[in-house]
Structure 1
Amino acid sequence: MKNPYYLLPKAVFITCGLAATALLPIIVQANDSTGYVGTGGVEYIKNKNISMHSEDLYISKDEIRVNYEFKNLSNKDITETILFPMPAVPSFLDSDYADTDSTYDSFKVWVNGRAIQPKLHVRTFMSPLVIENGYSTHTDEAVDTTDIFKSCGITDTDMLAPWTYQVYAEDVNRKLLACDNPQLTRFIKDRTDSYIFWDSQIIYSWQQTFKANSTTTVKHTYAPLVGGSVHLGEEEFGNFCVDDYTRRGFHKSGARPYQALSYILTTGANWAKPIKDFTLTVERDKNELVSFCWQGKGKVKKIAPNTFQIKESDFVPTHDFDVIFVHK
């Protein structure tokens, strides 16, 4: 059965293929964007009057920290809804899956130096059934099923089960199996099968007023969801632009257990202009090798024994960022 992990339609899509030895899937984080939470998921808005003046992004396995400066280019105050989508995670989690509970509890936001409390929205997604070669399977593209879940008496607390562990996913599945909503037949073939696969996504949002001709600072931090595996195969080197120096380090260390994460940069292109000043800092542990691809003009510089940095001017993100941390 296909069970990929998805972000919202019209947002970002990721499929995580797991090898037999895999412990954790690679997880995606995301940049801020403007928009609203609607019944079909998140719709993104490109605002022609607000520019992202600067973005200072710090990435490690323990923390993601982002500082933004937004500039209102108009003579009027503008109020938008700022959205921060977390990855969608599956309802059935392996024991070695990333620590979703820690990520759920760690998200914090400051605006102009003042802590704010964002609203939390939860959505669910399921993959429709299709017939392929005479057999029933699921499509690769999930659809938003939040309204169906709510019609079956499933609460936000229930839908947060993969994140908070306050409710068992099996209890949510029992409610689905007992529900008479005919739309469920698109996703569930056998009402006696308790193994129903669905994904849960958290979206944080807050109303933000950008003062006329002024700069607004936004900072947020959280513990990333980190994936990995017991061994990094050479066939995966290209995904992370592993260079010859790092390859030699791999061969010296023998086994290559690694951790990885992926950060969505491309939503940073939703603003009026290119990002005037962009800084990316990646920090590894002292007992690790680190490798990642970078397709901008900026050069990767080693600014400390375990810290690497890239600076860009007038930056338009066209690719997302994948990084691996390989244990020596």
Structure 2
Amino acid sequence: MLRTVLTAALAIMAAPAFANDSVAELGTGGLILSRSDAVAMQSEDLFISPEKVTVDYVFRNNTDKDVSSIVAFPMPDIEGDPNEMPAIPEAQSDNFLGFEVTIDGVDAKPQLEQRAFALGIDITADLKAQNVPLYPFGDAAKAALAKLPKDVTKDWEDRGIIIEDTADDGSGMQTAYVPFWQLRSTYWWRSTFPANKEVHVSHRYKPSVGGTSSVSFFSEGQFRDPQYSAYKTRYCMDGAFENAVRKAARENPDGYPKYYESRIAYILTTGGNWASGTIGNFKLTIDKSSPKNLVSFCGDNVKKVGPTTFEITAKDFYPERDIDILLLEPSDNGGNGG
């Protein structure tokens, strides 16, 4: 695969003033069908930006019989670790990505299947027996844990379901038990594909956008490994992109690029359970939101189609790698961003 990187105009602004902390992005993807040799994916129109992900599919049943299939949207796994906070758009909701789906223009009502695991063991029944919500980062789960009987608390701590955590809640440092389990969530529904007809399926959600308060792969006037090598492979950074980072660093008296990172991961390689296993017409649009942002990602035959948008199109497309997008966004805050 050719490594095509698109570099936006560089904006020389002040560097971030906040601490060099990081929030992890959660990898999301598209729909997965139960195996079918009758239903073909005629087209997929995928749009990715920091604000939203939308996917429009056209499926066609090329046989003379109706086909019933399970369609699923796997949500990213959530790890209940207070030291590894992921970027969660809807932090108090089971539908933490704000997932919505329509079929031929009509809102669908997918079912949500959720299971909780600790050390690889399904502990869903344990949580439900104590009326503890499965979603680990909601306030409701923490409140429920505070009400657990002492013997249950001790048992769950021994089993790696919960851990003690000390944090400042605004009234000083407090110690409490917090979730340490993993949540696996999947939206799914049963869909009928009529004989010799097309079905239009669209879904949208808010992506999990990871971030770092400064450019993590560059400091003190040079690129730094191992982060630099990993980013070059994952995001296909080219010379123009790297020169823009160097220029930003030179024009900052503190020697740091005046940007902070945003990262989006889209899982494209799952699926393929439709007839032929390829997508008849594939279109990917990536929107970097602002002309001042720098963007880097891997792809073939990338075209700039607007001030902030880039497009990839392909016929009989078979995805060989996932989509990872790196955005560098200028900050007008003071400080050295270190």
TM-score, reference length from structure 1: 0.74
Partner of 1:283: 287
Q: By how many angstroms is 1:240 displaced? A: 0.6
The one-letter amino acid paired with 2:329 is H
Q: By how many angstroms is 1:21 displaced? A: 3.7
Partner of 1:23: 22
The one-letter amino acid paired with 1:251 is R
Once residues 257 and 113 of structure 1 are traced to their aligned partners in structure 2, the CA distance between those partners, rounded to angstroms, is 38
**Of 153, 157, 160, the match for 2:130:** 153
Secondary structure of 1:100 counterpart:
coil
The 1:327–1:240 alpha-carbon spacing in structure 2 relative to 1, beyond 3 Å, is same
Confirm whether residue 322 of structure 1 aligns to residue 324 of structure 2.
Answer: yes
Confirm whether residue 209 of structure 1 aligns to residue 214 of structure 2.
Answer: no
Once residues 147 and 298 of structure 2 are traced to their aligned partners in structure 1, the CA distance between those partners, rounded to angstroms, is 44
The 1:52–1:183 alpha-carbon spacing in structure 2 relative to 1, beyond 3 Å, is farther
* Greater alpha carbon shift after TM alignment, 21-30 vs 189-198: 189-198
Once residues 242 and 71 of structure 1 are traced to their aligned partners in structure 2, the CA distance between those partners, rounded to angstroms, is 38
**Of 246, 254, 260, the match for 2:263:** 260
Q: By how many angstroms is 1:197 displaced? A: 1.3
Once residues 82 and 161 of structure 2 are traced to their aligned partners in structure 1, the CA distance between those partners, rounded to angstroms, is 19
The 1:306–1:196 alpha-carbon spacing in structure 2 relative to 1, beyond 3 Å, is closer
Structure 2's unaligned 5+ residue stretches are 1-18, 166-175, 218-222, 250-256, 331-338
Partner of 2:4: none
**Number of residue-to-residue matches in the alignment:** 277
Confirm whether residue 86 of structure 1 aligns to residue 75 of structure 2.
Answer: yes
Q: By how many angstroms is 1:22 displaced? A: 3.7
Q: By how many angstroms is 1:293 displaced? A: 1.5
Higher relative contact order (CA closer than 8 Å, sequence separation 6+) = 2
* Deviation sequence 1:170-197 (CA, Å, 0-9, x none): 6348649744998996546999993551
Checking the alignment, whether the CA contact within 8 Å between 1:268 and 1:316 is kept in structure 2 is no
Checking the alignment, whether the CA contact within 8 Å between 1:24 and 1:97 is kept in structure 2 is yes
Secondary structure of 2:216 counterpart:
coil
**Of 128, 140, 147, the match for 1:167:** 140
The 1:91–1:313 alpha-carbon spacing in structure 2 relative to 1, beyond 3 Å, is same
Once residues 222 and 196 of structure 1 are traced to their aligned partners in structure 2, the CA distance between those partners, rounded to angstroms, is 25
The 1:71–1:181 alpha-carbon spacing in structure 2 relative to 1, beyond 3 Å, is farther
* Greater alpha carbon shift after TM alignment, 260-269 vs 101-110: 101-110
* Deviation sequence 1:266-306 (CA, Å, 0-9, x none): 12322222100000000012221000112xxx411111121
**Of 203, 206, 209, the match for 1:223:** 206
The 1:61–1:107 alpha-carbon spacing in structure 2 relative to 1, beyond 3 Å, is same
Over aligned residue pairs, what C-alpha RMSD do you find?
3.1
Structure number having the greater helix percentage: 1
Q: By how many angstroms is 1:125 displaced? A: 2.5
Checking the alignment, whether the CA contact within 8 Å between 1:24 and 1:227 is kept in structure 2 is yes
Structure 1's unaligned 5+ residue stretches are 1-19, 35-44, 129-141
Once residues 266 and 212 of structure 1 are traced to their aligned partners in structure 2, the CA distance between those partners, rounded to angstroms, is 28
Q: By how many angstroms is 1:144 displaced? A: 4.2
Checking the alignment, whether the CA contact within 8 Å between 1:170 and 1:194 is kept in structure 2 is no
Once residues 154 and 195 of structure 2 are traced to their aligned partners in structure 1, the CA distance between those partners, rounded to angstroms, is 48
Checking the alignment, whether the CA contact within 8 Å between 1:300 and 1:310 is kept in structure 2 is yes
State percent identity of aligned pairs: 29
* Deviation sequence 1:138-189 (CA, Å, 0-9, x none): xxxx454334433x4345xx11242xx2503363486497449989965469
The one-letter amino acid paired with 2:302 is V
The structure that has the greater radius of gyration is 2
